[in-house]
Amino acid sequence: MADSGWLSEIPQLSRGELRDIRKFLDTGYREFSREYGEMIEGFFDPLLSFLVWFEKLLLATPWWLIIAIVAGLAYLSSRSWKLSLGVVISFFLIGYFGMWDDTMRTMSIILVCTLMAIVLGVPIGIAMARSDRVQMAVTPMLDIMQTMPAFVYLIPVVMLLGIGKIPGVIAVVIYAIPPVIRLTNLGIRLVDKDVLEAATAYGASSVQRLMGVQLPLAMPTIMAGINQTIMMALSMVVIASMIGVKGLGQPVLKSITNQYFTLGLLNGLAIVALAIIFDRVSQAYAKRSQRYLEGMDNG
């Protein structure tokens, strides 16, 4: 460290010191991953087998059945023929342009990631809503997760678990989970205090309040969070493909390195089509499940 001139020059660690710190942390982490890598991998094994099984299932199902199922789900959740027809047409086009298998792979990983984000995110959001302390602790972590470039947290994950589906899922979940956590927290905190007080006055336990009042009333907000989570998961597809996640991201990555404009565009459009379908279906479902809101205006 320079002992004079610190006014003009910011005090700085010497290169040697900096290198020592890096070396210390890197070796430490490397040793940690050597020591525990397999154990952690073993921990994720069930998830991996589920991912593989689900992907195989989607790939093995005849194309017309997949289209029928997705269109059927779209209709069930939205009661809109237009949306279902859109689903049929876009899936057919995706298959027609030779992207069927990649789309199935992407769909499988996105569905699993979204599911995980919901399963982890909603309880965290609930915990945040119930305690200001938890909220204070979790909020900065969410900020980091949302702003830290995905590549940075890919490094330790890849060091620990290598390349493949699991690190891909972890990266996608880290990136996509903040909205569902934030909006679950917000939704519960915004629940009308009068209604909650009424539930308490009638002797509702805290579980009864949560399941019967807070979650149902927060549902529109939580659904908005889930919707955002799906969109963000889809946008991670290309980055995930860099660590070996198969799907629509890989052709895009190939197009970037080889400057295949059309290939990139087609696969990009397929991702957009998936995103729009997921978005419309989940929003339509959210809206339909909140029918009681319809009468609000004439009250």
Kindly state whether residue 132 participates in binding other proteins, applying the rule CB under 8 A. Answer: no
Q: Which of residues 155-194 bind other proteins (CB under 8 A)?
A: 192, 194
- Do residues 78 and 285 lie in contact, with contact meaning Cβ atoms separated by under 8 Å? yes
Among 80, 208, 235, 283, binds other proteins (CB under 8 A): 208
Nearer Cβ to other proteins (145/204)? 204
CB of 299 to other proteins, least distance (A): 4
CB of 132 to other proteins, least distance (A): 14
Kindly state whether residue 205 participates in binding other proteins, applying the rule CB under 8 A. Answer: yes
Nearer Cβ to other proteins (143/192)? 192
CB of 55 to other proteins, least distance (A): 37
Kindly state whether residue 135 participates in binding other proteins, applying the rule CB under 8 A. Answer: no
CA–CA gap between residue 182 and residue 94 (Å, rounded): 34
Span of 148-156, 201-209, 270-278, 280-288 interacting with other proteins by CB under 8 A = 201-209
CA–CA gap between residue 163 and residue 26 (Å, rounded): 19
Nearer Cβ to other proteins (196/269)? 196
CB of 202 to other proteins, least distance (A): 5
- Cβ contacts of residue 97 below 8 Å, gap of 6+? 266, 270
- Do residues 59 and 105 lie in contact, with contact meaning Cβ atoms separated by under 8 Å? yes
Question: Count of residues binding other proteins (CB under 8 A)?
Answer: 26
Q: Which of residues 209-238 bind other proteins (CB under 8 A)?
A: 212-213, 216-217
CA–CA gap between residue 33 and residue 38 (Å, rounded): 8
The Cβ of residue 27 has, within 10 Å, a number of other Cβ atoms equal to: 10
- How many whole angstroms from its chain centre is CA 222? 14
Main-chain dihedrals φ then ψ at residue 70, nearest 5 degrees: -65, -45
CA–CA gap between residue 86 and residue 277 (Å, rounded): 8
CA angle 118, 76, 105 (to 5 degrees): 55
Name the residues that contact other proteins, by CB under 8 A: 192, 194-195, 197-205, 208, 212-213, 216-217, 290-296, 298-299
